[in-house]
């Protein structure tokens, strides 16, 4: 009974956050009408390639959480405050079907990882977030982007030195890039390095608070 009640509360929480996306169908149709002759921006192309395709085929647009609401939820509920690049990657990793919004299924999958994910699942998740171009590796260039201060297009020598140190630490097979296997081995040796490239998991305090809220 309790698990069922928690599930219902979770759905309620999700739907409340998703109300801001109720105008998605109309906006998406407007986007469709404007799509001809207009090039999609790089940001839109990262996580939304299926949205216009689904509209064109007549598929329904699912209710869900958009980027703005998602950022607010992670900030206010799970104490995750990070810069735009990392937040965009977190959104993309949650949005597994590339719909451009977090559906209820993805919402519960993400919550499951956040609240009770094993260390192995957390390693997979963090690596996917840090792999900015989703090519299966964390390159030195991606490390620069992740470890540099926001709006710093030309990392100073201290950041470059830090990247060199981190690369030597994570690059187990010495091929100049960090694979999932490299990342996993390093984190298993030193668990504190799980979020070495930026915060993307909730704090223990925020998890406890969230679960308490659902149970109340």
Residue holding tokens 């030309």? 154
Which position has the higher pLDDT, 7 or 91? 91
Judge whether residue 212 has pLDDT over 80. yes
Alpha carbon distances (Å) from 137 to 35, 143, 190: 33, 11, 20
Q: Using an 8 Å Cβ cutoff, are 85 and 47 in contact?
A: no
Separation CA 148–CA 198 (nearest Å): 11
Greatest C-alpha distance within the chain: 58
Domains and their CATH numbers in the chain: 2-22+63-215 (1.10.238.10)
pLDDT level of residue 3 (50, 70, 90 thresholds): very low
Question: Structure pTM?
Answer: 0.73
DSSP string computed for 44-68: HHHH-TTHHHHHHHTPPPPP-B-HH
Q: Express as a percent the part of the chain with pLDDT over 70.
A: 68
pLDDT digits (tens, 9 = 90+) for 88-131: 999 999 999 898 989 888 988 999 999 999 999 999 999 999 99
- Looking at residue 41, the DSSP 8-state letter turns out to be P
Q: Return the minimum-mean-pLDDT range out of 74-88, 149-163, 192-206.
A: 149-163
Interval 63-89: pLDDT, tens = 678 898 899 889 988 989 888 889 999
């Amino acid at each position: 009974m309790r698990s069922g009640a928690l599930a219902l509360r979770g759905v309620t929480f999700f739907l409340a956050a998703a109300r801001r996306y109720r105008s998605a169908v109309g906006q998406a149709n407007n986007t469709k009408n404007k799509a001809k002759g207009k090039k999609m921006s790089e940001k839109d192309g990262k996580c939304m390639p299926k949205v216009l395709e689904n509209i064109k085929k007549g598929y329904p647009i699912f209710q869900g959480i958009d980027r703005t609401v998602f950022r607010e939820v992670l900030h206010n509920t799970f104490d995750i405050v990070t810069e735009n690049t990392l937040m965009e990657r977190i959104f993309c990793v949650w949005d597994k079907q590339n719909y451009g919004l977090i559906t209820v299924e993805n919402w519960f999958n993400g919550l499951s990882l956040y609240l009770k994910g094993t260390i192995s699942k957390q390693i997979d998740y963090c690596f996917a977030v840090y792999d900015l171009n989703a090519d299966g590796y964390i390159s030195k260039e991606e490390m620069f982007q992740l470890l540099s201060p926001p709006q710093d297009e030309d990392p100073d020598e201290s950041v470059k030195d830090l990247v060199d140190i981190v690369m030597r630490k994570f690059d187990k097979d010495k091929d100049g890039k960090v694979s999932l296997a490299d990342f996993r081995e390093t984190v298993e040796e030193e668990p504190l390095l799980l979020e070495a490239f930026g915060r993307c998991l909730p704090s223990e305090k925020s998890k406890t608070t969230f679960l308490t809220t659902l149970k109340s």
